[in-house]
């Protein structure tokens, strides 16, 4: 799509990919204005015939909303089998990135700044609800923060207007932020469902974690339906009791027991935390162990905290054993390479790296993965050919051709992430080429116990181990320089 003109806008770069559409940066050919262009390519989404209707409904719903903290629409249209929505390009961060930055520093986001941002979103939600519009996907990554520190609510892809149109398809929402009634049936969502999701974000802001986590979307949804959320003070004792009462009220299973409006909820918590309006608070980051402050926390799996001394006893031993194992394997493989270097394919290191005998120049590509993301990095000064590159573990796999990228430029990377997650670029990656977002971790081929294989043109390129919990796992691929000779 790069270089194509959609309406008044020429697409110049890909900004992000999601489960429903891709976001491009576009430039107005007449005014020179840069904008974000959300594109739904109909042919590529033919399995779900509700997507075009949902996409148009998103455009119509947002177009009738006029609020400073809700994204606006410049243009909507269709071009050669693609629907598109043009919106302002917000140059800044989203709230999930703010949370990730605080987590990396082992801190909480500044409480007063966070409450001010959520107060703006609460105002936007109350305005939308008054117009019969329910967002149904309130989460940190859908809250953008511009250069003036203004919060902007975006991504109305699951919007629901009960009085105007029925729900379409099986729109679910994001498990960690979904209200119980919406988890039961998406068409049962009301404005109180958005208030519940906003309360989950507030819970996360004050404790560093969401109330419910699990190994699958269904497990998390069932927890929202059946389980009582943990006490925020049990995680962070510095939260005032009165603030905890307001949060637990907003997280009530019964929508009727929640606050009447989103602003009422946020302002009640704000008063509880700072009753005199002095902008001072004694709320501090809780003392927690893995996974709360881990640099790469498990997105859908939160283990119960072990006694404080246990990690201290285990961690050094595990690391020493792992280091010895790596040294042993690498040493053995190097000896093997030296002994068997005559005409045979070259095998180096663990995981296995296979370089076929070819006149094409092969260069290394680094693969770094954790429990929540997967990155392919080009550390060379030459572009790499990534055509037909496939990753497979049992029945779960991923084909890079779906990203529509032929080459991986120097210093750039490709990432696969869980929807709603964000993190800094991995080491060695100076710029993100593109990324694919999955709704849940069921397609994370690198988490399966058997490890995964990497093939190119159907030929085995590497065999990589499964991701190790709480740390980066690496694998090296041998890829041809791009473009290879003859292409």
Segment holding 23, helix H or strand E: strand 22-28
**Scanning the structure block, which residue is given the tokens 């595990």?**
318
Question: What does the pLDDT average to over 171-185?
Answer: 85
pLDDT in tens, 238-269: 999 999 999 999 999 999 999 999 999 999 99
Catalytic residue among 94, 126, 137, 440: 137
Question: What does the pLDDT average to over 147-159?
Answer: 90
Kindly list the domain boundaries of the chain, sorted by start residue.
5-88, 93-273, 320-480
93-273 matches 5-88 in CATH topology: no
Q: Helices H, strands E: what count in the chain? A: 10, 22
- The more confident residue out of 379 and 46 is 379
Q: At what angle do helices 262-273 and 241-250 cross, to 10 degrees?
A: 170
- The more confident residue out of 212 and 311 is 212
Question: What does the pLDDT average to over 2-20?
Answer: 85
d(CA 178, CA 138): 8
CB contact at 8 A, 220 and 214: yes
- Cβ neighbours of residue 404 closer than 8 Å, sequence gap 6 or more: none
Average pLDDT in the chain: 79
Preceding amide of 351 cis, omega within 30? yes
- Name the superfamily (CATH) of residues 5-88: Phosphorylase Kinase; domain 1 (3.30.200.20)
d(CA 380, CA 361): 12
pTM above 0.75, yes or no: no
pLDDT in tens, 44-97: 545 556 778 888 888 888 998 999 999 999 999 988 888 999 999 988 889 999
> What are residue 127's phi and psi, to 5 degrees?
-65, -45
Question: What does the pLDDT average to over 115-132?
Answer: 96
Segment holding 423, helix H or strand E: none
Question: What does the pLDDT average to over 176-205?
Answer: 93
- Cβ neighbours of residue 457 closer than 8 Å, sequence gap 6 or more: 388
Please say whether the dihedral angle defined by the alpha carbons of residues 336, 337, 339 and 343, taken in this order, is positive or negative. positive
* pLDDT of 9: 93
* pLDDT of 277: 72
**Scanning the structure block, which residue is given the tokens 């637990």?**
248
3-state secondary structure of 50: coil
- Which fold, 93-273? Transferase(Phosphotransferase); domain 1 (1.10.510)
Residue 301 pLDDT > 60, yes or no? no
Question: What does the pLDDT average to over 425-439?
Answer: 84
* pLDDT of 326: 44
CB contact at 8 A, 384 and 378: yes
Residue 286 pLDDT > 90, yes or no? no
Q: Can you read off the two tokens belonging to residue 220?
A: 């998390």
Question: What does the pLDDT average to over 338-355?
Answer: 35
**Scanning the structure block, which residue is given the tokens 């309130």?**
138
Question: What does the pLDDT average to over 454-461?
Answer: 83
Work out the number of other CB atoms within 10 angstroms of the CB of residue 475.
23
Q: At what angle do helices 191-207 and 111-130 cross, to 10 degrees?
A: 170
Task: For residue 456, name the pLDDT band (cuts at 50, 70, 90).
Answer: confident
d(CA 270, CA 258): 16
d(CA 202, CA 266): 9
* pLDDT of 135: 93
Q: Is 137 a catalytic residue?
A: yes
* pLDDT of 18: 66
Which letter does DSSP use for residue 450 in this model?
Answer: T
Select from 198, 73, 177 the least CA-distant residue to 129: 198
CB contact at 8 A, 156 and 62: yes
- The more confident residue out of 381 and 35 is 35
CA angle at residue 129 from 126 to 131, to 5 degrees? 115
Query: Of the given ranges (286-300, 374-388, 410-424), which has the lowest mean pLDDT?
Result: 286-300
Task: For residue 34, name the pLDDT band (cuts at 50, 70, 90).
Answer: very high
Distance set, CA 411 to CA 24, 382, 427 (Å): 21, 9, 10
Task: For residue 420, name the pLDDT band (cuts at 50, 70, 90).
Answer: low
**Based on the number of CB atoms within 10 Å of its own CB, is 309 exposed (0-12), middle (13-18) or buried (19 or more)?**
exposed
């Amino acid at each position: 799509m790069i270089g194509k003109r959609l309406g008044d806008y020429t697409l110049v770069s890909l900004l992000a990919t999601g489960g429903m559409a891709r976001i491009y940066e576009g430039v107005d050919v007449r005014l020179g204005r840069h904008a974000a262009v959300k594109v739904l390519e109909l042919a590529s989404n033919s399995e779900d015939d509700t997507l075009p209707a949902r996409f148009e409904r998103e455009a119509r719903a947002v177009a009738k909303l006029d609020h400073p903290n809700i994204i606006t629409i410049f243009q909507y249209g269709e071009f050669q089998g693609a629907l598109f929505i043009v919106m302002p390009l917000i140059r800044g961060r989203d709230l999930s990135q703010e949370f990730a930055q605080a987590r990396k520093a082992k801190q909480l986001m500044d409480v007063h700044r966070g409450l001010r941002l959520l107060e703006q979103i609460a105002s936007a939600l109350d305005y939308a609800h008054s117009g019969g519009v329910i967002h149904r996907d309130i989460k940190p990554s859908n809250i953008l923060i511009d250069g003036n520190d203004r919060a902007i609510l975006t991504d109305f892809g699951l919007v629901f207007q009960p009085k105007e149109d029925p729900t379409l398809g099986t729109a679910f929402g994001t498990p960690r932020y979904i209200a119980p009634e919406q988890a039961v049936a998406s068409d049962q969502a009301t404005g109180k469902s958005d208030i519940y999701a906003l309360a989950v974000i507030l819970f996360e802001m004050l404790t560093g974690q969401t109330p419910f986590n699990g190994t699958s979307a269904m497990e998390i949804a069932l927890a929202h339906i059946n389980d009582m959320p943990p006490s925020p003070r049990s995680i962070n004792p510095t939260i005032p009791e009165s603030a905890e009462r307001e949060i637990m009220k907003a997280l009530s299973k019964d929508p009727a027991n929640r606050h009447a409006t989103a602003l009422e909820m946020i302002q009640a918590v704000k008063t509880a935390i700072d009753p005199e309006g002095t902008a001072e608070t004694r709320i501090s980051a809780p003392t927690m162990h893995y996974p709360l402050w881990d640099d790469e926390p498990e997105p859908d799996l939160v283990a119960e905290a072990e006694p404080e001394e246990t990690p201290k006893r285990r961690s050094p031993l595990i690391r020493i054993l792992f280091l010895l194992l790596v040294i042993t394997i690498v040493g053995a493989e190097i000896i093997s390479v030296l002994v068997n270097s005559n005409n045979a394919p070259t095998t180096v290191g663990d995981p296995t790296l296979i370089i076929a005998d070819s006149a094409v120049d092969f260069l290394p590509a680094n693969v770094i993965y954790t429990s929540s993301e997967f990155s392919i990095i080009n550390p060379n000064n030459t572009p790499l050919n990534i055509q037909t590159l496939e990753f497979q573990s049992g029945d779960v796999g991923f084909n890079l051709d779906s990203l529509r990228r032929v080459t991986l430029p120097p210093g750039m990377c490709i990432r696969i992430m869980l929807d709603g997650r964000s993190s800094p670029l991995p080491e060695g990656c100076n710029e993100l080429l593109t990324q694919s977002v999955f709704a849940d971790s069921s397609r994370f081929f690198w988490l399966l116990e058997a490890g995964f294989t990497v093939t190119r043109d159907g030929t085995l390129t590497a065999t990589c181990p499964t991701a190790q919990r709480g740390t980066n796992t690496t694998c090296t691929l041998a890829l041809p320089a791009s473009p290879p000779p003859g292409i």
